[in-house]
Amino acid sequence: MHDTQSVNKQRIDLDALDEIWVFGYGSLIYKVDFPYLERQTATIHGWERRFWMGSHDHRGTPEKPGRVLTLHPVERAVCFGMAYKITHDVFEHLDHREKNGYLRELIDIALQDGRTIEGIVYIGHADSPAYFGPLDIPSLARHIFDSRGPSGENRDYVFALAQALRQHGVIDEHVVAIETCLLTLQSKDVEE
Ligand code: BEZ
């Protein structure tokens, strides 16, 4: 476990923001276990989703970590997600939920209503001890297929995310490629 809760509390002066928005690109899109004042679909520019972060607490264990999302900078990329307008105190919950190596960062969020506002996103950087980094898609899928933790099967995280993105009409090639491999692994598993 690489707990970032205390460092995140110090990182960004939330009082300097007129409104507090957080951008979700992973489970925050579909697992909303916190109160919010408003939510809108949104995009951030210059980033793509990648299953390059280790999960020692949710979809894996310290002994056998799974793989979850972080953001990777890619020029001209557009990443779809969900933006939530929240109150300051909600960060207590979010920092706890996303404590394994993620840091709060300020980012420009393009809201569906046409406004671009500065908000917060959680990113697992390459220098985090919980960062696993790039791997080819079949190996990523195999790792995810073989992993599970207190929040459940690692593969179910991918399936839920892929479904949530599809419901919004979004095809994310990285997510779909891993989902396809996982479905193949799952069907082979059932046959055996
Ligand atoms: C998210 O769902 O946006 C998220 C992904 C990784 C860490 C924290 C939040």
Range of lowest pLDDT (13-22, 133-142, 148-157, 162-171):
13-22
- Please give the Cα distance from 29 to 143 (Å, whole number): 23
- Ligand 1: nearest atom to the Cα of 22: 3
- Residue 186: CA atoms inside 13 Å, Cβ hemisphere, count? 15
Give the residue with greater pLDDT, 130 vs 12: 130
Model pLDDT for residues 86-126, shown as the tens digit of each residue: 999 998 888 887 778 899 999 999 999 999 999 999 999 99
What pLDDT score does 1 carry?
61
What pLDDT score does 111 carry?
98
Model pLDDT for residues 159-191, shown as the tens digit of each residue: 999 999 999 999 999 999 999 999 999 998 877
What pLDDT score does 106 carry?
95
- Please give the Cα distance from 141 to 155 (Å, whole number): 8
State in Å: Cα 188 to ligand 1 middle: 30
Angle at 127 between CA 155 and CA 86, to 5 degrees: 65
Active-site residue numbers?
Answer: 98
pTM to 2 decimals?
Answer: 0.93
- Please give the Cα distance from 166 to 169 (Å, whole number): 5
- Ligand 1: nearest atom to the Cα of 122: 8
